[in-house]
Amino acid sequence: MTNSVFISGVEIYKFDIPFTKPIKVALGTFHHAPNILVRIISDDGLDGLGESSPIWSITGETQETAFQAGQALAQLWLHKNPLETAERMKDLEEFLIHNSSIKCAFDMALFDWVGKRLGIPLYALLGGIRRPLITDITLGIASPQEMASEARERIAQGFSSLKIKLGTTVEEDVARMCAIRREIGKDVILRIDANQGWDCPTAIAALRALAPFKIEYCEQPVARWNLAGLKQVQEASPIPIAADESLFDHHDAFSLASLGACDYFNIKLAKSGGIQNALKINAVAEASGIRCMLGCMFETRLALTAAAHLAAARPNIVFLDLDSAFFLAEDPILGGLIYEKETILLPDLPGLGAAIQPDYLAGLDHVTIGNTNN
């Protein structure tokens, strides 16, 4: 195999996917997934696909800013070797700070390309094995009755763990959890996510009031920047605390671990900037005795497949919240992971093992950087 290969072109698509219904969380209400698709092509015609899920209230990006930033990032990779993965991501990190979700799409496309080049699935490239994975499924904020009804429906569909969005008032959130537990019983695993919706006193009061409902952990009870507050809540809470919006990269992981501010890390590829940084976060977690969950934004099964490959390769990732595909009204992905109720089955094809339906791709607004007609 020759290593004298280079990236000849990059295609960047606006990858809008509607939701089946609006999703409400403490940060706001969302009506569709304003994603970005990146396709890199090498001079020998091999390609790699990656997906970005920018959520302005979390990553600080919109689809338009990600689309524009992606064009500048693509220029940095033209005529460079895609096998040099660390160097290629260094190109992006040194050029543009933050903008994690669009960097994630480039990182993912790079790993997809390398897996295809070597003829092995991504989980194998990362040193993992193909094993079944179990995801929870999320319930957005609604009335107690609506959330209890949805919880019952999800259990009937075969899910044994639910992630409940909270982050309003103590009284309202307790009423939601009371209704859900009354509807589904005590054996279903419940996780909660406040999405920064509480301040420290409210978080402590809420978590103490919610403790009788047998909660596995609570994600991000306070504002992302308030690490001291997160530690204060963690020390006072009867429920374990997971850092989400406070954790973007391995530097954040080090700060959180050093402070002892949380019990778990929630890694999301769109926050970390992709697989390379996600691996670094997990390494910090392992060194600190912190177990990880792997979450998602509003990605299709393309990016969810990449996340599942990562989970299969790192035993320290013990919780999965890879459920966004269940809320999308369209599924333009060919191949990729398969859901059997709550179980995720990985493809055994090179790279991600996922592609986009060609006719769907043809209808998307896009820009081409360099030459993609090899």
Report H helices in the chain: 56-59, 63-77, 85-95, 100-118, 122-125, 144-156, 170-184, 200-210, 227-236, 250-259, 269-272, 275-288, 301-313, 358-362
Catalytic residue among 11, 47, 244, 299: 244
Strand partners, 52: 36
Catalytic residue among 165, 271, 299, 323: 165
Catalytic, 268? Answer yes
Q: 256 is written with which tokens?
A: 């959180």
Catalytic residue among 103, 163, 268, 271: 268
CA distance 350 to 305: 12
Nearest one of 269, 243, 209, 218 to 53, comparing CA atoms: 269
- Is residue 42 within 8 A of residue 373, CB to CB? The reply is no
Catalytic residue among 193, 299, 323, 342: 193
- Is residue 267 within 8 A of residue 18, CB to CB? The reply is no
Catalytic, 244? Answer yes
Strand order in the sheet with 366-370: 47-52, 28-42, 7-25, 366-370
CA distance 21 to 23: 7
- Would you list the DSSP string of 310-354? HHHH-TTEEEE---GGGGBS---EEES-EEETTEEE---SSBT-E
CA distance 13 to 38: 6
- Would you list the DSSP string of 130-163? ---EE--EEE-S--HHHHHHHHHHHHHTT-SEEE
Catalytic, 186? Answer no
344: CB partners within 8 A, 6+ apart:
132, 133, 134, 135, 308, 320, 322, 337, 338
Q: 168 is written with which tokens?
A: 């309003």
- Is residue 141 within 8 A of residue 25, CB to CB? The reply is yes
- Residues serving a catalytic function are 165, 193, 219, 244, 268
